[in-house]
Structure 1
Amino acid sequence: MLLLPTSPMRQSLFRWMPFSSFSTVNVKGGPYNFVDGHKTDSMDSNGFTNVLNPATSKRLAKIAVSGVSDVDMAVKSSKKAYDSWSMLSGFERGKLVSQLGHKILKNLEALAHLEVENNGKPIWEARLDIQSCADCFLYFGGIASTISGKHIQLPNSSFGLVKRESLGVVGGIGAWNYPLQTCSWKGSGETGKHLCCHPDVAKISFTGSVQTGKNILKLAADDLKRVTLELGGKNPLIIYDDCDLTNAVKGALLANFLSQGQVCSNGSRVFVQRSIVDRFTDEFVKATTQLAIGDPLDNKTQVGATVSKTHAEKVLAYIKQGGAVQLCGGERVHMPKPFQNGYFISPCILTNCHDEMTAVREEIFGPVATILPFDTEEEVIHRANQTPYGLSAGIFTNDLRKAHRTSNRLQSGTIWVNNFNVTPVELPFGGFKQSGIGVECSTEAIQCYTQLKSTYIEMNDIDCPLYNTQ
């Protein structure tokens, strides 16, 4: 698998230093590319980019932007490694993959601190992310030896063998909201373009925006590369009037405010049955206004910093577009030193919304929930599906039959019943419609990274009508 380092998170996983606070963090200097087992500087002169701490706006690192030469070097190294890697048994590969998982667990606290520095999310959430990253390596390390083929008996004692082989070098282009987790789940525009077009890259696995995913699909089509695309969503959360109201409020918090709302699977279209919409809204607002905003490294903090100034301004612009009523939040939060220049936004709930509003139709990728009343099951299913996306959905009800009926008709790749944003590695994760192609996680992901080979074994003399005996 090819990973082009574009942030401090992509350094060697085995040499992290523990941190205790923002004032004592010392991110080591470059080089940040990791190719052929070594840290390397960029070979191209594409300039530099600053990596900032979202909570303080202070620079964590200045990194060189990788270019075409860096892609070529990384692909060449990966292809060379594949020749020997592909000869290992599943058990041998699994041991190495599991070792990486254990290394991550051993360094969990240091990695979580660095994830906070790079991303701005609360420390408790970063710990869960690092744990899930390790779980992913341990899971796939555990099942590597179970990947098996088939023996198929054919006429006259002949037989066929069907086996799965890995594709080869895979280009992984990950998302900024889960930088380390991306390494287990899977530069500049020109860098990415060259990666997608490189003849020695067998597959591209991308997590990001729909438009970029479409561009990658076009580039990959030139030489019929395989792709896995995990793209955006504008996901529905359906709350029926027979639900456990407290659990529904908890679910709405998980569906909207984890990672400051910067989660592609978020259920920001909160459909609430009209008979309970007032009660639910009151409780949801109450719980939201009690969320603690502050130092992401403080264990008591529940909402950290939005990833960048540009993104924070984009989120606030969506909120201010008009038409809806702000019940709470949606404002820049001014923090004391050393966070006075951080990008903090208070979690926002909008009401008086309708399905055609921009804030309801477009993915905001921020801490913004929209309340949408509905009357009937048939109505809410129809409205929930009126989107070009189909990544995820949530259903809160105590009626299991209703949950099954609704789930069967929702056009989403992942559906949670009486919970939200839970992604165990044992279950596949992927989207319908414009939310993506293929899946990550679970044994199903193996299908996306392997190809079938059939071998026919003849056990008899060939019966050939074209062969003429003299």
Structure 2
Amino acid sequence: MYSQYGLFIDGSWTFGSKSGEVTSPVNEKPLGHVPLATIDDTQAALDAAANALPKLLQMGGFARADALHRAADEMIRRTDEAARMIAAETGKPIAQAGREWSLACDQFRWFGEEARRIYGRIVESRVPNGRFEVTREPVGIVGAFTAWNFPAALPARKLAPALAAGCSVVLRPSSQTPGVAMVMVDCLRAAGLPDGAVNLVVGSTADTYARIMADTRVRKVSLTGSTRVGQQMIRDAAETVKKVSMELGGNAPLIIHDDADLDAALDLTVPTKFANCGQVCVSPDRIFVHETLHDAFVEGFIARASKIKLGDGLHPETEMGPLINASRLTEIEGIVIGAVRAGAQIAFGGKRPAHLNSGYFFEPTVLTDVTDDMKVFAEENFGPIAAITRFSSEDEALARANASDMGLAAYSFTRSPDRARRMAAGLKAGMVGINSFALAAAEAPFGGTKHSGMGREGGIEGIEDYLDTKLAQFVF
């Protein structure tokens, strides 16, 4: 499955001296073996990235744009290969995998255009016959670290803006889902970027992350991962004063107001909650339903959840796949058990499916009588658990929704334009969806506040963290 790829260093695929096994979350069997980088491999990737910087700068924005569009063309041509790789490694349904790859393609299209629009400006000087000139320059080498839950979208959100800005990149994808990042990097290779512009290493923290973070030539690091890992990266980046941007955990509230369109809310919420088996950082975790709609909402939620087909993501009829690994399955089981012990009720699901004897499957689960202090509500569950509670007033819902250290996404369903505006203004999150969960788009800034991270990916804001601002004063 990985035989034509490996580590990508200085424009070539290499297989290194060590390897690791990638396991299917569907059947717990090996998918294949991938090379693991040594410290020397990571050092070679960093050296290659350093050598590529002047070549990328010399290309200019228009030539870099053309290369990113060629990469997108190649990615589109290889959609079937990439979607099957995503589905095999993560277990997510093939249709969801295809949409994710399409979102990744969009990143290269969008930032290909942004490469042509790296603007500066002229500022009048107080010095006679003088002027200020403000320009934007690439920050330098970028270390990019991505998680397993969106193995195509997450690398694309980092590679596309970095390359558009003229930065070289050392990408370290998750060792649980490295294959689709390899396909993406191979598309960039085919696009004709300079050798060393993109490098890929897979391996242990000591052999990859530590070496990247210690290198003073790496001027920017970008992470998608847990808050705990993000906190450690901030500490490590301080040693060499690197720029840091990161998208971390979420614990998104969803408020269903008394004037919401109930059927529309349910039709959108159920597939969103159980997409990728709930392993989505912007998934609605804390569901607040007005007391007048609560029972009908729960009934409708269960009716829809009960129809979800579990199975192998490579099978076209599958609507929900497994959790990523055994530890996640154990964690989800523990969260449900803990919630029940604390007084929550299992309205639907709550266990491993009886008809699936292998893999890390867990039923779509609905919990009611949930209180705000329960772990399932107070922390991101990152699984197929819909935790539902009641509220009485708009002010109460808003206060409870904001009572979290996380601030990635938040959602509200209402028919009232005035209330919609109040929710958009009052919810403390980097992204707010009103009657919608569609937040991830290349043209829109994606990111959070508080413990959910810093910086933005996507939109015109997405390239900012990969650029330094330079001021020059000219006097003639």
Give yes or no for the alignment of 1:40 onto 2:57: no
For 1:160-239, list aligned pairs within 5 A: 160-186=132-158, 187-190=203-206, 191-239=208-256
* RMSD, aligned α-carbons: 1.4
> Is the deviation greater in 180-189 or in 94-103?
180-189
Give yes or no for the alignment of 1:429 onto 2:400: no
Give yes or no for the alignment of 1:364 onto 2:336: no
Aligned to 2:102: 131
Secondary structure, counterpart of 1:202 in structure 2: strand
Work out the CA distance in 1 between the residues paired with 2:254 and 2:38: 41
Give yes or no for the alignment of 1:387 onto 2:404: yes
Work out the CA distance in 1 between the residues paired with 2:12 and 2:405: 43
Work out the CA distance in 2 between the residues paired with 1:32 and 1:195: 19
Work out the CA distance in 2 between the residues paired with 1:428 and 1:210: 20
User: Could you tell me how far 1:147 is from its partner in structure 2?
Assistant: 1.5
User: Could you tell me how far 1:89 is from its partner in structure 2?
Assistant: 1.7
Work out the CA distance in 1 between the residues paired with 2:214 and 2:427: 35
Work out the CA distance in 1 between the residues paired with 2:355 and 2:50: 49
Aligned to 1:467: none
Give yes or no for the alignment of 1:240 onto 2:257: yes
Give yes or no for the alignment of 1:279 onto 2:251: no
Give yes or no for the alignment of 1:88 onto 2:108: no
User: Could you tell me how far 1:334 is from its partner in structure 2?
Assistant: 4.1
Aligned to 2:360: 343
Work out the CA distance in 2 between the residues paired with 1:108 and 1:206: 25
Aligned to 1:331: 351
For 1:50-65, list aligned pairs within 5 A: 50-65=21-36
Higher helix share: 2
Amino acid paired to 1:144: A
Q: Do the aligned residues in 2 keep the contact of 1:333 with 1:346 (CA within 8 Å)?
A: yes
Aligned to 1:112: 83
Work out the CA distance in 2 between the residues paired with 1:218 and 1:69: 24
Q: Do the aligned residues in 1 keep the contact of 2:439 with 2:446 (CA within 8 Å)?
A: no
Q: Is there any run of 5+ residues in structure 2 with no aligned partner, and where? A: 159-202
CA offsets, 1:162-215, max 9 Å, x none? 111111110000010011222211232222122222111111100000010000
Q: Which runs of 4+ in 1 moved over 4 A?
A: none
Higher RCO, Cα 8 Å, sep 6+: 2
Work out the CA distance in 2 between the residues paired with 1:192 and 1:162: 34
> Is the deviation greater in 125-134 or in 90-99?
90-99
CA offsets, 1:377-411, max 9 Å, x none? 11111100111100000110010110111221111
Percent identity over the alignment is: 31
User: Could you tell me how far 1:316 is from its partner in structure 2?
Assistant: 1.4
Q: Do the aligned residues in 2 keep the contact of 1:254 with 1:420 (CA within 8 Å)?
A: no
User: Could you tell me how far 1:55 is from its partner in structure 2?
Assistant: 1.0
Q: Do the aligned residues in 1 keep the contact of 2:2 with 2:34 (CA within 8 Å)?
A: no
Aligned to 2:167: none
Q: Is there any run of 5+ residues in structure 1 with no aligned partner, and where? A: 1-26, 460-470
User: Could you tell me how far 1:428 is from its partner in structure 2?
Assistant: 0.4
Work out the CA distance in 1 between the residues paired with 2:234 and 2:271: 32
> Is the deviation greater in 83-92 or in 352-361?
83-92
Q: Do the aligned residues in 1 keep the contact of 2:7 with 2:36 (CA within 8 Å)?
A: no
User: Could you tell me how far 1:421 is from its partner in structure 2?
Assistant: 4.4
Secondary structure, counterpart of 1:87 in structure 2: helix
Work out the CA distance in 2 between the residues paired with 1:262 and 1:268: 11
For 1:245-264, list aligned pairs within 5 A: 245-264=262-281
Q: Do the aligned residues in 1 keep the contact of 2:216 with 2:240 (CA within 8 Å)?
A: yes
Amino acid paired to 1:39: W
User: Could you tell me how far 1:294 is from its partner in structure 2?
Assistant: 1.7
Give yes or no for the alignment of 1:320 onto 2:294: no
Work out the CA distance in 1 between the residues paired with 2:204 and 2:6: 15
Go from structure 1 to structure 2 and tell me whether the alpha carbon gap of 1:333 and 1:35 turns closer, same or farther (over 3 Å shift): same
User: Could you tell me how far 1:68 is from its partner in structure 2?
Assistant: 2.1
Aligned to 2:129: 157
Give yes or no for the alignment of 1:266 onto 2:286: no
With normalisation by structure 2, the TM-score equals 0.87
Go from structure 1 to structure 2 and tell me whether the alpha carbon gap of 1:446 and 1:31 turns closer, same or farther (over 3 Å shift): closer
Work out the CA distance in 1 between the residues paired with 2:106 and 2:5: 28
Work out the CA distance in 1 between the residues paired with 2:112 and 2:100: 18
For 1:437-448, list aligned pairs within 5 A: 437-448=454-465
Secondary structure, counterpart of 2:371 in structure 1: coil
Q: Do the aligned residues in 2 keep the contact of 1:30 with 1:63 (CA within 8 Å)?
A: no
State the structure with more CA Rg.
1
Q: Do the aligned residues in 2 keep the contact of 1:288 with 1:347 (CA within 8 Å)?
A: yes
User: Could you tell me how far 1:314 is from its partner in structure 2?
Assistant: 1.3
Secondary structure, counterpart of 2:2 in structure 1: coil
With normalisation by structure 1, the TM-score equals 0.88
Secondary structure, counterpart of 2:319 in structure 1: coil
Q: Do the aligned residues in 2 keep the contact of 1:54 with 1:118 (CA within 8 Å)?
A: yes
Work out the CA distance in 2 between the residues paired with 1:335 and 1:310: 21
Go from structure 1 to structure 2 and tell me whether the alpha carbon gap of 1:31 and 1:111 turns closer, same or farther (over 3 Å shift): closer
Work out the CA distance in 1 between the residues paired with 2:448 and 2:5: 36
User: Could you tell me how far 1:64 is from its partner in structure 2?
Assistant: 3.7
